[in-house]
């Protein structure tokens, strides 16, 4: 399911070669969704490298939970969000109320277009109990999902807030977007944010996962555990992905 510190060969069409840690082999949507869910729980991500139709991707997503949003991702000069631009997208997370993100590759960039993933599921091993309590009261912005209030294409901007750290009975969840940090942090919060940024830099240097989807492949990630991004692509890139936001039931 991807490689650490490496990129798969560039191909525009599905290739029978299987990358390490990928889910391959023909199977029903039920079987694949079970394997995707198991991989999400163990690794935080699932790369389905066996070529499949977009309809099967949608079926897998529906079996994981409720699809809250569908988005077509392609370079679109008339759109204002960074996801439609060719510039690098730094590691971040999407709407924290969404548990799983999924991407289906219709057409890959001719040169790269790899997804970059970083697992922060071990965050509790790197911060003291006092620091984690500070992180739980350190808010990060996220775009208001109501398009009548937040719609960059028509000049509307509105943000809600979510804690950097949320402790659940079975795990610790993270929400971080470096460009949506707020201005009103106290000294303790500023200090722990600096330490968190350094934690990310060290992990990125040693543990970054890159997955270059081929046409007909898909990728799912645990949005409350995995940060994602991508490098810059060409302004005339033909890269086209279909993204879903999934809310897990219960």
Q: Where are the domains of the chain?
A: 3-247
Confidence at residue 238, expressed as pLDDT on a 0 to 100 scale: 97
- pLDDT for 199 equals 98
Rounded alpha-carbon distances, angstroms, from residue 215 to 24, 27, 79, 81, 198: 14, 18, 24, 24, 35
**What are residue 64's phi and psi, to 5 degrees?**
-75, -30
The helix-helix angle for 54-64 and 29-43 (nearest 10°) equals: 60
Residues of the chain with pLDDT under 70: 1-21, 24-26, 250
Q: What is the pLDDT of residue 26?
A: 54
Rounded to whole angstroms, how far apart are CA atoms 98 and 198? 26
* pLDDT confidence of residue 29: 85
What is the reported pLDDT for 2? 54
* CA separation for the pair 203, 212 (Å, rounded): 20
For domain 3-247, the CATH architecture is 4-Layer Sandwich (3.60)
Instruction: Say what the pLDDT of residue 10 is.
Output: 30
What is the C-alpha to C-alpha distance for residues 82 and 56, in angstroms, rounded to an integer?
28
User: DSSP alpha helices (H): ranges in the chain?
Assistant: 29-43, 54-64, 129-136, 187-207
């Amino acid at each position: 399911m991807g490689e650490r510190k490496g990129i798969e060969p560039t191909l525009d069409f599905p290739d029978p070669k299987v990358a390490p840690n990928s889910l391959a082999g023909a199977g029903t949507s039920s079987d694949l969704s079970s394997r995707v869910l198991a991989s999400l729980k163990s690794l935080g991500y699932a790369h389905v490298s066996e070529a499949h139709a977009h309809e099967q991707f949608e079926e897998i997503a529906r079996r994981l939970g409720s699809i809250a949003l569908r988005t077509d991702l392609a370079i679109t000069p008339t759109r204002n969000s960074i996801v439609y631009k060719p510039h690098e997208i730094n590691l971040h997370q999407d709407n924290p109320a969404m548990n799983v993100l999924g991407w289906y590759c219709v057409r890959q960039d001719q040169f790269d277009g790899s997804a970059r993933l970083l697992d922060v599921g071990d965050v509790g091993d790197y911060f003291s109990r006092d620091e984690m309590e500070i992180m739980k009261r350190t808010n990060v912005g996220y775009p208001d999902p109501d398009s009548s209030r937040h719609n960059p294409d028509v000049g509307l901007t509105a943000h809600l807030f979510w804690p950097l750290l949320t402790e659940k009975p079975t795990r610790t969840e993270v929400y971080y977007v470096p460009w949506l940090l707020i201005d009103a942090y106290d000294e303790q919060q500023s200090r722990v944010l600096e330490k968190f940024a350094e934690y990310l830099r060290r992990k990125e240097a040693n543990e970054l996962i890159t997955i270059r989807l081929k046409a007909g492949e898909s990728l799912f990630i645990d949005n409350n555990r995995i940060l994602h991004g991508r490098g810059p692509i060409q302004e005339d890139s033909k890269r086209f992905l279909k993204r879903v936001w999934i809310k897990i039931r219960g």
